[in-house]
Amino acid sequence: MSPTFDDRDGVIWFDGAFVDWRDAKIHVLTHALHYGSAVFEGQRAYGGVVYKQREHHERLHASANILGFEIPYSVEVLDEACEAVLRRMNFVDAYVRPIAWRGSEMMGVSAQANTIHVAIAAWEWPSYFKPEERMKGIRLDLAEYRRPDPRTAPSKSKAAGLYMICTISKHAAEKKGYADALMLDWEGNVAEATGANVFFVKDGVIHTPLADRFLDGITRRTVIGLAKARGIEVVERRILPEEMAGFSECFLTGTAAEVTPVAEIGPYSFTPGMISLGLLEAYMAEVQPK
């Protein structure tokens, strides 16, 4: 059985210094625990190098600014800290999690004077989905919860609180035997999976939802670039759920998911084909250190 995440050997970078993994703790009255005032990133290291590390740390800063606080460490410092974490953990291929949050000086909705803390942890983590399922295409349920209207939530921030409905939706899907769930936006258009962006293929053209109502993933942008470089047309637009009946292929993208073909979303079926599998191969080649 794998060790729990609070009981592992190693170190975590915590507010500018390394602490033993088991000692990286916060108080129960930490503001972020009660009010969701935390932002984070999910990064992958391949061959000892974090792919697009700078873009992730720039987004971490941007996410914090949207939530109204400033991260006390520059992008450059975070870059160096991530690299140091990998060295200290002796990891070559790993998942890296930077997180920033409001501390415990004040308890209540207003916490403008609270200290902003930052931590970076890394662990070895294989494919987000089971490898045998990933290659033949995973199965997705249709989520009950929808992504919120950007006028009601900071949807351009990778904020911890926005993932509450993702956890609920993924748990519900897994109880039914699915690997994940597809979420719609508040108007009923296709949005994203619980932790990954979604793409569809029809007649050799890729269609994907406009990323103005949910997080515009770094992997999403990378895969769009890889597709266009191969002469594949990519259309970003609103997609209605019933349109899924006319798509031949579907795949997810994300730092954790990488590129994962989809075989089923609720009543809709897809067959992993040349575009999905080709972009999976192209992405895995892209992320390797040059």
Residues 57-80 have a mean pLDDT of 98
pLDDT tens, residue by residue, 42-57: 999 999 999 999 999 9
Residue 1, pLDDT above cutoff 60: no
Share above pLDDT 70 across residues of the chain, in percent, rounded to a whole number? 97
Please compute the mean of the pLDDT values over residues 242-269 and round it to a whole number.
Answer: 97
d(CA 127, CA 170): 17
pLDDT at 149 (0 to 100): 96
In the three-class reduction of DSSP (H, G, I as helix; E, B as strand; rest coil), residue 158 is classed as coil
- How many C-beta atoms surround the C-beta of residue 76 within 10 A? 10
Mean pLDDT, to the nearest integer, of 192-196?
A: 97
DSSP state of 248: S
Length of the chain measured in residues: 290
Residues 81-96 have a mean pLDDT of: 97
Q: Which of 234, 145, 138 is nearest to 191 (CA)?
A: 145
The CATH architecture that domain 11-123 belongs to is 2-Layer Sandwich (3.30)
Residue ranges per domain, the chain?
Answer: 11-123, 131-286
Positive or negative CA dihedral for 133, 280, 195, 52? positive
Mean pLDDT of 209-220: 96
Q: Are 74 and 2 in contact (CB under 8 A)?
A: no
Alpha carbons 122 and 171: distance in angstroms, whole number: 24
3-class DSSP assignment, residue 15: coil
Residue 108 has pLDDT above 90, yes or no: yes
- Which residue bears the tokens 């089971």? 130
pLDDT confidence of residue 135 = 73
State percent of the chain over pLDDT 90. 94
Assess whether pLDDT exceeds 60 at residue 241.
Answer: yes
Given a contact cutoff of 8 angstroms between Cβ atoms, the answer to whether 252 and 194 are in contact is no
Of the residues 130, 136, 156, 158, only one is catalytic, namely 158
Which pTM was predicted? 0.94
In the block, tokens 């625990």 appear at: 33
- Give the H/E segment covering residue 146: strand 138-147
Mean pLDDT of the chain: 95
Give catalytic status of residue 158 as yes or no.
yes
3: its two tokens: 């060790």
Distance CA 140, CA 201 (A): 17
pLDDT at 126: 73
165: closest CA among 187, 192, 190, 202? Answer: 192
Q: CATH for 131-286?
A: 3.20.10.10
Angle at 99 between CA 93 and CA 102, to 5 degrees: 170
Q: What pLDDT score does 3 carry?
A: 84
Q: Specify the pLDDT at position 78.
A: 98
Which pLDDT does position 42 carry in this prediction?
96
Q: Among 9-18, 89-98, 131-140, 264-273, whose mean pLDDT is lowest?
A: 131-140
Distances in Å between the Cα of 120 and the Cα atoms of 70, 123, 158, 284, 286 are 17, 10, 16, 24, 24
Residue linked to tokens 């974090």: 50
Q: Residue 235: which pLDDT band, with cuts at 50, 70 and 90?
A: very high
Question: Confidence class of residue 290 from pLDDT cuts 50, 70 and 90?
Answer: confident
Task: Read off the pLDDT of residues 113-139 as tens digits, 9 standing for 90 and up.
Answer: 999 999 999 999 876 666 666 778 999
At 127 the pLDDT is: 66
The strand pair at 138-147 and 180-185 is best described as parallel
* Bridge partner residues of 98 (DSSP): 120
CA–CA gap between residue 277 and residue 250 (Å, rounded): 10
